[in-house]
Structure 1
Amino acid sequence: MIMTRHTISVLVNNQPGVLQRVAGLFGRRGFNIESITVGESEEQGLSRMVIVTIGDDKTLEQVTKQLYKLIDVINVVNLSSHPMVARELALIKINAKPERRPEVLGIVETFRAAVVDIGPDTLIVQVVGDSDKIDAMVELLKPYGIRKLTRTGATAMIRGSID
């Protein structure tokens, strides 16, 4: 049984309780959700969930079939079976006394990130990219002292003209 990372797009009616039912289905199947993002879609009244999970292909197939049985689920697409673009956003608050800021700003520039807040002894850095990019930046900032870290989870779509 080969466990792989799957990114799934689920188009749903924008109704109370849909997120809970979808997440519950994953839990009952023994799938851990690594990240889930939900927001409006291109169609009014519909939301898109992008779920990142790890599991084998057979279990993913069963989860997909079960998702379609939920009344508010319109469409399910395994994005990771196609070339796709995936991005996360992270906000990282780090210790940064004025004398250490030039070093930190060098890292920020290298990652094409941005400083979005400056405090007397801290900086908040915003970085957008794939999970590996964010993980790499976090590792480089650890020696400065990360005070808080928050990540959005992935959002993704298929490249090119395929919907």
Structure 2
Amino acid sequence: MKHTLSVTVENKPGVLTRVTTLFRRRGYNIDSLAVGATENPSISRMTIVVEGDDRVIEQVTKQLYKLVDVIKVVDITGQRYVERELVLVKVKADNNIRAEIVQIVDIFRARIVDIGRNSLIIEATGDSGKIDAIEDSLKPFGIIELVRTGKIAMVRGGKS
């Protein structure tokens, strides 16, 4: 089962390396990793998606707490939370098929952020399912390039 961990860390050089090294040394694959500053510039939040059973997640959590720069680790998988990903997709788009691509963009509430002679760059945000769906919808046109962020997530309601 995939678990989403919200890891609060001190915003210092080398913290990301120490956290990812911990996963590498134990042979756990990170499915998704997003890191960014929080409302407090001295603190960053990592959203890490990792596959494993409850025992594996418990072990990972204990190991994370052993790192000096880790402040808090929360497995938010069982909680109600909002998640988002961002994708930028450069797709082949000559004049004959642009209208069809624009319709798909509208359906997914995405945006066209660049228009080239024979291509469009589309930006979309949403949960993993929505991002997968827009990718699948654009594949028949020919995806030239694609870049996707990892999942970011925030628990609904009070601060967690």
Tell me whether the two structures share a fold, i.e. TM-score over 0.5.
yes
**How far apart are the structure 2 equivalents of 1:146 and 1:73?**
39
Question: Shift of the alpha carbon at 1:111?
Answer: 0.3
The amino acid across from 1:25 in the alignment is L
* 1:134 and 2:134 are equivalent in the alignment: no
* 1:161 and 2:158 are equivalent in the alignment: yes
SS of residue in 1 equivalent to 2:77:
helix
The amino acid across from 1:82 in the alignment is Q
The percentage of aligned residue pairs carrying the same residue is 54
Matches within 5 A, 1:113-124: 113-124=110-121
User: What are the superposed Cα offsets for residues 86-123 of structure 1, whole Å, 9 maximum, x if unpaired?
Assistant: 10000000000011001000100000000000000000
* 1:148 and 2:145 are equivalent in the alignment: yes
**How far apart are the structure 1 equivalents of 2:44 and 2:6?**
10
Match for residue 69 of structure 1 among 66, 71, 85: 66
Question: Shift of the alpha carbon at 1:135?
Answer: 0.6
Matches within 5 A, 1:27-46: 27-46=24-43
**How far apart are the structure 2 equivalents of 1:15 and 1:34?**
23
The amino acid across from 1:13 in the alignment is E
**How far apart are the structure 2 equivalents of 1:89 and 1:112?**
13
Q: What is the RMSD of the two structures over their aligned residues, measured on CA atoms? A: 0.9
**How far apart are the structure 1 equivalents of 2:124 and 2:64?**
33
Which ranges in structure 2 are unaligned for 5 or more consecutive residues?
none
* 1:111 and 2:108 are equivalent in the alignment: yes
SS of residue in 2 equivalent to 1:150:
strand
The amino acid across from 2:139 in the alignment is K
Task: Tell me the TM-score normalised to structure 1 length.
Answer: 0.95
**How far apart are the structure 1 equivalents of 2:123 and 2:2?**
25
